[in-house]
Structure 1
Amino acid sequence: MRDIPLSRAAPLAAALLALALAPLLAGAFHLRFLAEILLLGTAVMSLDLLVGLGGLVTLGHAALFGTAAYAAAIAALHLGGNLFLVLGAGTGAALLMAALMGVAIMRSSHLFLLILTLLLGQVAWEVAFHWREVTGGADGLRGLPPLSLGPWRLDGPRALFLLSGGLALAAYLLARSFADAPIGRALVGAREQPLRMSALGYSIPRIRFRAMLAAGGIAGAAGSLYPFLNLYVGPQSVHWSLSATMIIMLVIGGVGSLWGAFLGSAIYLALQTYVSAYTDRWQLFVGLVFVLIVLLLPRGLAGGLTGGLAGSLAGVLSRRGRP
């Protein structure tokens, strides 16, 4: 059995420990806050599959996340809050949106890719904002029924946190499997050497399409649970500004690290929640953190932490090896 590298095993062990201890130590507000970090972090991690592996920077990722949120909310309002029904409706809607977006961007790259995904995301926002009979328009959808699994209600802070944590863990393992699989390697190859990959017989549009489906499915699963944190979903969940926010979170956490997405979302949401309690200029602090990360830690917080941990371990081992 292949050994798990330290850079992957340590974050996974820390995540499992945090998931086990948080329900015992945190209050109701903090559990919901942590659940929001986990769900947004999962969506950002799915974006990392496109950006970190494929170099496909998109401003339409919120359309996948928000479409799933709307689909899950609509299904819950009409059919009830059954967990599997909600996850199925949201993830299915996100996969459909990802397929449409994937067809549009299969042969696009760089600036054209950015503009196309921005336009597609704005189409989703227009639908959410103006189709009032279905989406609630600018008011969004409120009064959602709580999530349930058979006779059990899953609307408490502890239940929502555990659901979000379980989803985030499963999504991480799925994303890691995708990155390590031949399709993930091919996606990296398509980013680095597209002409050589084409000459070897690989279909780059097909590789990008599959990556978009994988990212859409993971983002959709996270978006399906997101409305049930506050029993509300609105047009801002599909707006391009949320896509830009996800990119900021990804850069802060570390592009290409997968688990760094959760660090980035935690830093951003902590600044938004706690700094905004003292000043309306909390985004200035986000910008400062962003600039410092880009200048001092080009690989993000995850890269800095992994590099520091690996360097410390190497130093300890080298000292032990000396006579």
Structure 2
Amino acid sequence: MKRNIAMVALPAAAAAAAALLADDFVLRFLAEILLFGIAVMSLDILIGFGGLMSLGHAALFGGAAYAAAIAARQWGGDVALVLGSGIATGMVLAALMGVVVLRSGHLFLLILTLLMGQMVWEVAFHWREVTGGADGLRGLPALSLGPWTLSTARALFLLAALLAAVAFVVGRSFVAAPIGRALVGTREEPIRMAALGYSLFAVRFRALVLAGALAGAAGALFPFVNLYVGPQSVHWTQSAAMVIMLVIGGIGSLWGAFIGSAVYLGIQTYLSAYTDRWQLCVGLVFVLTVLLLPNGIASGLRILRDRLRRRGA
């Protein structure tokens, strides 16, 4: 009980402090970290718990971003409409992807998710009348919640923090529930799980749809935080970046997804101002993480915490 309270109280206190002390640029940057953290966490459910490697996850995130932006242009920036359109789009794209890819495995699964993701990119890049093509979509209306307008960086950050908290609780509940245990079973002992009467396709399909809903929710807010959405957000390179974030943060650790997102986006945002070779720095961090912390930064922090506790005892 105390652990659960700490897991909620500490991030809430950090979010409150950031909302009070940080400037607009930092708040938007932190909101972007939280949104990518949600998307990477949803990818972790597939890879870390289901063993389902995907290079098409950006299609769920970016496709929802496009859907939310288009819906806001047509009907206004109501938060319920924006989130609803993003979540629905993420779930639909995940369901379509699941029907095609989940009957394959390993290398074929990876290739099929890549192809499905690139099909979404083709639509976003070439359907210029709707998506803006290579120029993307800008000039979106401000988000609103009833009579309140959520256009300031502080409001968007708090909304992203609330969404991250809800998404983390949903993801944690899923992996702790029987369906989450069954998902781990399909990764470790697929033949035995099938012999016990489990449908491997059904278990994995539900996990993929949930991951699509979480990635879609994050993607729905992304255009309003970033003030832009373009075809790069659905490209396979964005999916690869999410995998890198996940490895750095820690596969199998839901909260490690936010650490990996912070490290990757921090290098991209701040080091790119000094050098064009910021991707080399990401590669070095990635290699060092794999060599020194195979289970990611989250695992290293957990080990450090346990050692400090033992010393204190």
Please list, as runs of the form range in 1=range in 2, the aligned pairs for 1:198-209 lying within 5 A after superposition.
198-209=194-205
Please tell me whether residue 309 in structure 1 is matched to residue 302 in structure 2: no
8 Å contact kept, 1:106–1:206 = no
**How far has the Cα of 1:11 moved from its partner?**
4.6
Mapped to 2, the partners of 1:279 and 1:231 lie a distance apart of 24
Q: 2:285 aligns with which of 284, 289, 292?
A: 289
State the superposition RMSD in angstroms: 1.1
Mapped to 2, the partners of 1:293 and 1:220 lie a distance apart of 29
8 Å contact kept, 2:142–2:150 = yes
Aligned residue in 1 for 2:267: 271
Secondary structure at the aligned position of 1:107 is classed as coil
Aligned residue in 1 for 2:224: 228
Secondary structure at the aligned position of 1:312 is classed as helix
Mapped to 2, the partners of 1:210 and 1:43 lie a distance apart of 16
Deviations 1:177-229 (A, max 9, x none): 00000000000000000011111111001111000001000000000000001
Aligned residue in 2 for 1:321: none
Aligned residue in 1 for 2:40: 44
Letter paired with 1:291: V
Letter paired with 1:134: V
Please list, as runs of the form range in 1=range in 2, the aligned pairs for 1:75-94 lying within 5 A after superposition.
75-94=71-90
8 Å contact kept, 1:145–1:231 = no
Mapped to 1, the partners of 2:294 and 2:6 lie a distance apart of 21
Please tell me whether residue 168 in structure 1 is matched to residue 164 in structure 2: yes
**How far has the Cα of 1:311 moved from its partner?**
2.6
Unaligned runs of 5+ in 1: 318-323
Mapped to 2, the partners of 1:195 and 1:315 lie a distance apart of 44
8 Å contact kept, 1:83–1:149 = yes
Letter paired with 2:103: R
Secondary structure at the aligned position of 1:123 is classed as helix
8 Å contact kept, 2:35–2:219 = yes
Please tell me whether residue 125 in structure 1 is matched to residue 112 in structure 2: no
8 Å contact kept, 2:32–2:226 = no
Aligned residue in 1 for 2:106: 110
TM-score by length of 2: 0.98
8 Å contact kept, 1:253–1:301 = yes
**How far has the Cα of 1:231 moved from its partner?**
2.4
Letter paired with 1:188: V
Mapped to 2, the partners of 1:269 and 1:98 lie a distance apart of 25
Deviations 1:44-87 (A, max 9, x none): 00000000000111000000001100000000001000110011
Count residues in correspondence: 313
Please tell me whether residue 97 in structure 1 is matched to residue 115 in structure 2: no
Q: 1:151 aligns with which of 147, 150, 155?
A: 147
**How far has the Cα of 1:115 moved from its partner?**
0.1
Mapped to 1, the partners of 2:159 and 2:279 lie a distance apart of 30
Mapped to 1, the partners of 2:144 and 2:7 lie a distance apart of 31
**How far has the Cα of 1:315 moved from its partner?**
3.6
Secondary structure at the aligned position of 2:142 is classed as coil
Aligned residue in 2 for 1:212: 208
8 Å contact kept, 2:150–2:156 = yes
Query: Which segment is superposed worse, 16-25 or 187-196?
Result: 16-25
**How far has the Cα of 1:251 moved from its partner?**
0.3
8 Å contact kept, 1:249–1:261 = yes
Letter paired with 1:287: G
Mapped to 1, the partners of 2:7 and 2:106 lie a distance apart of 32
Q: 1:183 aligns with which of 179, 186, 189?
A: 179
Deviations 1:152-176 (A, max 9, x none): 1101010000000000000000000
Distance 1:304 1:11, change over 3 A: farther
**How far has the Cα of 1:10 moved from its partner?**
4.9
Aligned residue in 1 for 2:294: 298
Secondary structure at the aligned position of 1:226 is classed as helix
**How far has the Cα of 1:105 moved from its partner?**
1.9
Identity %: 66
8 Å contact kept, 2:65–2:219 = yes
Secondary structure at the aligned position of 1:148 is classed as strand
Mapped to 1, the partners of 2:51 and 2:170 lie a distance apart of 19
8 Å contact kept, 2:38–2:258 = yes
Deviations 1:107-158 (A, max 9, x none): 1111011000000000000000001111111111111101011221101010
Mapped to 1, the partners of 2:105 and 2:50 lie a distance apart of 10
Mapped to 2, the partners of 1:239 and 1:104 lie a distance apart of 19
